[in-house]
Structure 1
Amino acid sequence: MKPLADIVRPKKLEEVVGQKHILGKERLLRNIIESKHIPNMIFYGPPGTGKTTVANIIADSTNKRLYKLNATNASVQDIKNIISELDTFLAKDGILLYLDEIQNFNKKQQQSLLKFIENGQITLISSTTENPYFTIFNAIISRSTIFEFKKLEIEDIVEGLKRGIDLAEKEIINKTINYEEEALKYIATMSNGDLRRGLNDLESAIYYSINKIPICIDIDTAKESTQTSGFNYDKFGDNHYDTLSTFQKSIRGSDVDASIHYLARLIKAGDLTSICRRLLVIASEDIGLAYPNAITIIHSCVEAAIKLGLPEARIPLAQGVILLSNSPKSNSAINAIDKALKDIDLGNIGDIPIHLKDSHYKGSSKLGRGTEYKYPHSYPNHYVKQQYLPDNIKDKKYYEPANNKLELKFKEFQKSIRENKKS
């Protein structure tokens, strides 16, 4: 007996749940499929969102000879075997190759397809759960249209589960299956956007209650049939960087609740190193000079977390996140250094003014090194006006104080010493 997830797999676009942004009426992918003029495509998104299903529907709509490979276990020889059929009667209309998990092909394997993709003998539809811009050879990306399949919403999963119940009644058990909406929503929530996972849990729920009269999937059955958490996290995949990015942006945006939520995701993934590194970055990049002691406190929280290890590390980490979220913000430090680095990259560096050059060696005065240097501590307010930057950028301003209490004091200090006031 086929698994329920295979029985439910849609045969036409109208049966696909979710992905309205690419498969809805007049949307790009739908129009391409209906035109039957299929270009090279890359389907990118989480598991269980319909990538393979849509590829199968496309394959059925063309006259091309279909081959399916999974890059996890396929080899260059498999590709050579497919290429060998290109000029035969079997492939008179060309070949459609569906390559699943293309990110597992190395550069050489991906390059072996290029010539045949370019001349149109092979139409490539590939799928990946990882960001294609990080994992797929640029030459293939430039010859393909990329479609992102998004994580399914709870309502989409529920729709797919109800279709699963209808087909299970007809093709698996030949009995009526009653269900509670709350139970289907629970299964959908625990599936974490993965319809295949939801259907597997639904199938478990059906067999768990198969001897009940009538069969009924209630909330207790749903909980019993979904023993594992719905949380998925790949430390090396796209989700890792998305979560870290959102974590930092939530702290930067002073949303303490969102910040704690994304911290919890990272803790659940056991990703202690990434949390600690990101918190140290945030303390300087986003809080910076608005609260300079933040970096010292965060360093202590990070040290404590590393020494404690999980699960106890969650406590100093939460302390640090709450502190940063509720701290005043300033990005003046990162802006200043990035402006300076940009000038260096562009070659805007010039020569060091001669009066600032090292003069601690015999003969330096004969070269004019340091002879006109003015020692600031010998002047009122420990300040004297003199040029420090090279001539070609002598008036450059890298640091712009942000509007917070400390940096406004910096601004006032700079103004006062230049006006020869008491600081």
Structure 2
Amino acid sequence: MTPLAERIRPANLDELTGQEHLVGKGSILRTAIEAGKIPSMILWGPPGTGKTTLANIIANTLSVPFFTLSAISSGVKDIREVIDHARHAHNAILFIDEIHRFNKSQQDALLGAVEKGTVTLIGATTENPSFEVNSALLSRSQVYVLKALDPDDLIALLHKAMEKDEYIKVKKVQLQETAALLNISGGDARKLLNLFELVVTSTPFNEQGQTIITDEQVMKIAQRKVALYDKAGEQHYDIISAFIKSIRGSDPNGAVYWLARMLDGGEDIKFIARRLVILASEDIGNANPNALLLANATFEAVNKVGNPESRIILSQCAVYLASSAKSNASYMAIGSAAAMVQKTGDLPVPLHLRNAPTQLMKKLDYGADYQYAHNYDNNFVNQEFLPDKIAGTKFYEPGNNARENELRNYLKKLWKDKYDY
């Protein structure tokens, strides 16, 4: 039987759950679809947010030829074959799932067809297209960000299944609790619906001929039957979360275990390496600046080496990061600064810090009274670098570790009691 997620897949924009910012009345994308003319686009968002569904809806709405490729199993030859077919079609759409898995040569093979309008490209990705889609292709496409579905959206999907799917209706489902379904699915609509069907199928009727769904029942069935790691990526976020938390918690054993789980599940090595680069700054930072250097070198190395040897490089980096001193001080600092920006808005730059490239600006005292640090002892002079309204605010609090305690002492020596270091 076709999975539940496929059986109730929306056929038009009005049936699509969530993504109001993209397909709601008057939105840019909906307006383009209704006008019958869409740009090539990259749909970026977490798993199960409707990227494939939206692509299908667009093709159905426009009534145009629709070609699909999966970046996991397709190569340059497949791309060229589709483009050849598209040349004999009118306004053809080419949908490429997981486009971030295409390498440069595969993406380059699409360029000419997209430029000439032979095909309108719709690419779907769970990864930041700025990193994974080559700049030439990206510049010819609009990027639309799909948001994770909120709990209300997900519950609405469950009720839709109960009302519209013939098989689910026969089971007379009583949805007493939803927390376990929502937690396990992690915002992924496809995973939610398929789990829901599994639970409904595995739960016998009660004496009243109803199928009662509770959190306890969901957990019992999920633990017994749901795969621990789905190679299609449905538990992608759960496993990477465990991996990151193991490193943050200074446990190299947990780190290499979850790394092995990801590699065994077919996870993209570039995704793993990129997360290590982020972690090296977010969770280690200036407690050990070499961590970022090693993580960045790891990212470069796995791209050169590829599988299966890249697992050794990833393991070395994960073990080093897990065994390193930790600090999230820089991460907290930018978070505090960003919160201040949101709170205070666009505060004016103090005159002494402004650039003064013209005579008029100089007459207006742009740059006046700025003190060039290198003209003073120890290359430092006490002056204010923040807008007047927030002068003296401290955003960076050094972590309690050997290296950042050195930074704390140095900053205290320079600034005395100004920032309370």
- The TM-score bracket by the shorter chain reads 0.5 to 0.7
Pair 1:158-2:129 in alignment: no
C-alpha distance in structure 2 between counterparts of 1:266 and 1:38, whole Å: 44
* Count of residue pairs the alignment pairs up: 301
CA drift at 1:108: 1.5
CA drift at 1:280: 3.8
Pair 1:15-2:15 in alignment: yes
Residues 326, 46 of structure 1: CA spacing in aligned structure 2 closer, same or farther, 3 A cutoff? closer
C-alpha distance in structure 1 between counterparts of 2:180 and 2:256, whole Å: 24
Question: Is this contact kept in 1: 2:380–2:414, CA < 8 A?
Answer: no
Structure 1 range deviating more: 148-157 or 228-237: 228-237
CA drift at 1:141: 0.4
Q: Partner letter of residue 413 of structure 2?
A: F
Question: Is this contact kept in 1: 2:199–2:218, CA < 8 A?
Answer: yes
Match of 1:209 among 203, 207, 220: 203
Question: Is this contact kept in 2: 1:100–1:127, CA < 8 A?
Answer: yes
Q: What SS does the corresponding residue of 1:49 show, helix, strand or coil?
A: coil
Residues 339-397 of structure 1 show CA distances to partners (whole Å, capped at 9, x for unaligned) of: xxxxxxxxxxxxxxxxxxxxxxxxxxxxxxxxxxxxxxxxxxxxxxxxxxxxx995278
C-alpha distance in structure 2 between counterparts of 1:63 and 1:194, whole Å: 28
CA drift at 1:189: 2.2
Question: Is this contact kept in 1: 2:149–2:188, CA < 8 A?
Answer: yes
Residues 63, 400 of structure 1: CA spacing in aligned structure 2 closer, same or farther, 3 A cutoff? farther
Residues 122-158 of structure 1 show CA distances to partners (whole Å, capped at 9, x for unaligned) of: 1111111111111111111000000111222222111
Q: Which residue of 2 aligns with 1:344?
A: none
Pair 1:167-2:161 in alignment: no
Residues 117, 408 of structure 1: CA spacing in aligned structure 2 closer, same or farther, 3 A cutoff? closer
Pair 1:121-2:108 in alignment: no
C-alpha distance in structure 1 between counterparts of 2:79 and 2:69, whole Å: 9
CA drift at 1:86: 4.0
Q: Which residue of 1 aligns with 2:190?
A: 196
Pair 1:78-2:78 in alignment: yes
Pair 1:186-2:180 in alignment: yes
Q: Partner letter of residue 65 of structure 1?
A: P
CA drift at 1:201: 1.1
Q: What SS does the corresponding residue of 1:226 show, helix, strand or coil?
A: helix
Q: Which residue of 2 aligns with 1:418?
A: none
Which sections of structure 2, spanning at least 5 residues, go unmatched?
260-271, 290-314, 335-371, 383-391, 398-407, 417-421
C-alpha distance in structure 2 between counterparts of 1:210 and 1:76, whole Å: 49
CA drift at 1:233: 4.6
Question: Is this contact kept in 1: 2:373–2:381, CA < 8 A?
Answer: no
- Paired residues for 1:253-332 under 5 Å: 274=276, 277-278=280-281, 279-283=283-287
C-alpha distance in structure 2 between counterparts of 1:49 and 1:398, whole Å: 53
Q: Which residue of 1 aligns with 2:347?
A: none
Question: Is this contact kept in 2: 1:96–1:122, CA < 8 A?
Answer: yes
Q: Which residue of 2 aligns with 1:395?
A: 375
Q: Partner letter of residue 216 of structure 1?
A: I
CA drift at 1:276: 8.2
Larger radius of gyration: 1
Q: Which residue of 2 aligns with 1:218?
A: 214
C-alpha distance in structure 2 between counterparts of 1:33 and 1:394, whole Å: 58
Residues 394, 173 of structure 1: CA spacing in aligned structure 2 closer, same or farther, 3 A cutoff? closer
Which sections of structure 1, spanning at least 5 residues, go unmatched?
245-258, 286-305, 332-391, 414-423
C-alpha distance in structure 2 between counterparts of 1:35 and 1:219, whole Å: 45
Pair 1:136-2:133 in alignment: yes
Q: Partner letter of residue 190 of structure 1?
A: I
Question: Is this contact kept in 1: 2:40–2:140, CA < 8 A?
Answer: yes
C-alpha distance in structure 2 between counterparts of 1:54 and 1:330, whole Å: 39
Q: What SS does the corresponding residue of 1:11 show, helix, strand or coil?
A: coil
C-alpha distance in structure 2 between counterparts of 1:408 and 1:185, whole Å: 48
When the two chains are superposed, the root-mean-square deviation of aligned CA atoms in Å is 4.5
C-alpha distance in structure 1 between counterparts of 2:379 and 2:257, whole Å: 41
